[in-house]
């Protein structure tokens, strides 16, 4: 048979895909074997690259995800929204105005409009008004003004397929398991557009051989109904995210729409707040459909004003601003212990390095915040700065496992089992 260039290209692509799958399977098998041979020790908390390494590079780009992996993240987190033609792309919100250069492109000026997202009017440019071919013309920008703007316009918007392909390729390169932690963004909104996310997500996972229980995948959502639906369709691990509006001066969690309750509750007329999901009864309900919780971190360790000024916090450090640096930590809650008692993992969000985001107890040192949560017993956490999370985890291991230093220096545990630095703690 005469082989055309297209046929040959397809053959090479198939061979490359087979090789990547085989390498990924070998990594998983080797990690499992290595883990079973090791002595029991503290389970290493997962570092989840929040939107990649959004502290350094524009979020939800292949470059941001790849840097997170380079810095030691175990999982990378793509938020997923749908294009007009149903392609899942990685963006934090359906509204593209804050994270891309779309507002600067005259060709798309007419797409600017107001849309209702979870009951709130937003002006901007919405992914569902763009085909994927048009999305490819956009470039990502840094969403946080205080962070480096020097990479704006450099990187394009990836698909979920491309994120998984990156994770598998990097896993093969590094010889360790690297997972993905997709979030279904605004599921009710997408369903009302005729662009439901859930089956599209599972189709992509299936295409890459990751739609099964042992795949390195967690699916997360702030809504509940779509997680319950996913539970009927897949055995992949599911995580219920838990939001809120703010923290009061005395440390109480406060609620206001649209951050008061899962939006599907609001649509269905169900009363209550996000916080109800973290009560013993709420956690028991979550356990019926999910494998873990992803709470906003003040639910685990809250903070209160060091000193009051009127109805709010005083500027106790004299920097002219009032923020988390003017607050002090409160005792931890029982959420982690209660969740663990039910077999739920706990992955709080979001850890960031900026001084204004750190309670005064942490003395301006981001590592100290991570250590507080690692000591509390979280099973993983979402970080904008994967390198800081990894360094803090290494310090936690050295403090909590007598074999960690031997493993770090000698490459072997006390039983003589070979280990790779501190990664031996959970076989990755």
For 15-39, what is each residue's pLDDT tens digit? Answer: 444 444 444 444 444 444 333 333 3
315 neighbors 307 (Cβ within 8 angstroms): no
Fold of 43-403: TIM Barrel (3.20.20)
State how far Cα 422 lies from the chain centre. Answer: 22
30, two tokens: 């080797």
pLDDT at 16: 43
Mean pLDDT to the nearest integer, 257-272: 98
pLDDT band at 284 (very low <50, low <70, confident <90, very high): very high
For 356, the token pair is 């204004």
Residue 201: the pLDDT is: 98
pLDDT score for 28: 46
Q: How far apart are CA 324 and CA 350, in angstroms?
A: 14
Contacts of 73 (CB under 8 A, 6+ apart): 47, 48, 49, 53, 178, 383, 386, 389, 390
Report the DSSP beta bridge partners of residue 239. Answer: 220, 292
- pLDDT, residue 423, reads 60
Q: What is the pLDDT of residue 417?
A: 76
* pTM, entire model: 0.90
From CA 140, how far away is CA 57, in angstroms rounded? 9
Q: Determine which helix (DSSP H) or strand (DSSP E) holds 113, and give its type and residue range.
A: strand 113-117
At residue 97, the pLDDT reads: 98
The answer to whether 404 and 397 are in contact (CB under 8 A) is: yes
Kindly tell me if the per-residue pLDDT of 79 is higher than 90. yes
202 pLDDT above the threshold of 60: yes
Q: Does 3 score more than 60 pLDDT? A: no
Nearest to 265 by CA among 232, 201, 221, 207: 221
- What pLDDT score was predicted for residue 399? 94
Stretch 295-318: mean pLDDT, rounded? 98
Q: What mean pLDDT, rounded, does the chain reach?
A: 91
Query: Domain residues of the chain, as ranges?
Result: 43-403
Token pair 């600067």 is found at 104
In the prediction, which pLDDT does 419 show?
78
pLDDT interval class at 2 (50, 70, 90): very low
Alpha-carbon span 273 to 91, nearest angstrom: 26
Residue 13: is its pLDDT beyond 50?
no
Q: From CA 161, how far away is CA 88, in angstroms rounded? A: 8
């Amino acid at each position: 048979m005469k082989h055309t260039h297209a046929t040959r290209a397809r053959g090479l692509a198939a061979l490359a895909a087979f090789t990547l799958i085989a390498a990924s399977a070998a990594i998983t098998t080797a990690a499992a074997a290595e883990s079973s041979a090791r002595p029991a020790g503290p389970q290493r908390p997962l570092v989840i690259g929040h939107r990649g390494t959004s502290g350094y590079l524009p979020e939800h780009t292949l470059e941001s995800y790849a840097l997170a992996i380079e810095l030691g993240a175990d999982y990378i987190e793509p938020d997923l929204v749908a294009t007009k033609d149903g392609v899942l792309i990685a963006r934090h919100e359906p509204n593209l105005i804050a994270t891309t250069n779309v507002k600067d492109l005259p060709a798309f000026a007419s797409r600017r409009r107001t849309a209702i997202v979870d009951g709130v009017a937003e002006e901007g440019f919405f992914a569902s008004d763009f085909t994927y071919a048009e999305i490819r013309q956009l470039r990502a920008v840094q969403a946080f003004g205080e962070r480096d703007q020097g990479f704006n316009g450099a990187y394009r918007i990836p698909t979920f397929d491309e994120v998984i392909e990156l994770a598998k390729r990097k896993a093969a390169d590094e010889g360790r398991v690297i997972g993905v932690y997709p979030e279904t963004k605004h599921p009710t909104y997408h369903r009302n557009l005729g662009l439901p996310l859930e089956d599209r997500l599972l189709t992509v996972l299936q295409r890459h051989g990751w739609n099964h229980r042992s795949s390195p995948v967690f699916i997360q959502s702030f809504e509940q109904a779509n997680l319950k639906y996913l539970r009927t369709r897949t055995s992949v691990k599911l995580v219920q995210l838990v939001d809120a509006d703010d923290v009061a001066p005395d440390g109480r969690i406060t609620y206001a729409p649209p951050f008061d309750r899962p939006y599907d509750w609001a649509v269905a007329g169900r009363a209550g707040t996000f916080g109800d999901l973290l009560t013993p009864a709420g956690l028991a309900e979550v356990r019926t459909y999910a494998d873990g919780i992803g709470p906003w971190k003040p639910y685990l360790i809250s903070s209160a004003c060091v000193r009051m000024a009127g109805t709010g916090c005083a500027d106790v450090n004299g920097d002219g601003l009032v923020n988390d640096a003017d607050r002090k930590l409160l005792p931890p809650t029982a959420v982690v212990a209660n969740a663990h008692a039910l077999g739920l993992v706990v992955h709080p969000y979001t850890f960031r390095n900026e001084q204004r985001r750190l309670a005064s107890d942490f003395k301006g040192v981001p590592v100290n915040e991570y250590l507080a949560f690692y000591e509390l017993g979280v099973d993983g956490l979402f970080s904008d700065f994967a390198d800081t999370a990894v360094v803090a985890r290494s310090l936690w291991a050295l403090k909590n496992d007598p074999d960690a230093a031997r493993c770090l220096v000698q490459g072997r545990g006390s039983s003589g089992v070979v280990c790779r630095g501190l990664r031996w703690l959970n076989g990755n």
